[in-house]
Amino acid sequence: MDWYIVKVAFNREDSIRDALVRRIKQAGLDSLFGEMLIPTEDVVTFTRNGTRRVVKRKLYPGYLMVYMSINDDSWFLVRETPGVGDFTGSGGKPTPMDPHDVERIIKTARPPEEGEQALKTAIPFRVGDRVRVKEGYFQNLEGDVEKVDEANGRVTVMISIFGRSTPVELDHWQVEAV
């Protein structure tokens, strides 16, 4: 068996995976299929009132990883499942994933359980965006985002102070889009 990537309908990955599992059981091809994975990561977001929420974000929207053995029956079963586009590969032939890539994706999708891992913070700003400081020492000053640090939830903004551009590191909730 090898890992394959299957293109599926965007935002329907879960329902398509469930339909595929049902079809596999109905066809009695359980021995040809293993795990089916939708790679996700936990991300911290903040609601409008400032409440912290941890949500799952798909790493590869529109794709499903399937551990399976390819033959005519298994290939046809996957291809004929509603919502499935095709396998990734060249020339219409499914290409198995590189084991190094599989290991990296699975490690990201299944973080270690030994303790609280560092969660990324979903920051709505990108490098080059124009922002205004909402609170703190630099309140009401405007600048351009120079760096976004999702791991720590911080944004570095270039603010003009006394005619000089100065990098200021702020928490993401201290700035707003202009």
Copy the structure tokens of residue 31: 């021995």
Judge if 127 and 116 occupy the same domain: no
Q: How far is CA 5 from the centre of its chain?
A: 15
Cα maximum dimension of the chain:
73
Q: Are 39 and 58 in contact (CB under 8 A)?
A: yes
pLDDT tens string for the chain (178 positions)?
Answer: 889 988 998 889 999 999 999 999 999 988 999 988 888 887 777 766 667 778 888 888 889 999 999 888 888 898 888 998 888 876 667 888 888 888 888 877 665 554 455 566 777 788 888 999 888 888 888 999 999 887 777 889 999 888 888 889 888 788 888 8
Judge if 65 and 130 occupy the same domain: no
Judge if 140 and 114 occupy the same domain: no
> Which domain CATH number covers 35?
3.30.70.940
- Report the sign of the C-alpha dihedral through residues 80, 87, 63, 119, in that order: positive
Judge if 116 and 45 occupy the same domain: yes
Bridge partners (DSSP) listed for residue 2: 68
Judge if 72 and 86 occupy the same domain: yes
Range of the domain at 96: 2-120
Domains identified in the chain, total number: 2
DSSP label at residue 31: G
Query: Which of 120, 149, 167 lies at the terminal end of a domain, its last residue?
Result: 120
Q: How far apart are CA 2 and CA 162, in angstroms?
A: 61
Judge if 128 and 114 occupy the same domain: no
Judge if 54 and 37 occupy the same domain: yes
Bridge partners (DSSP) listed for residue 121: 44
Judge if 108 and 30 occupy the same domain: yes
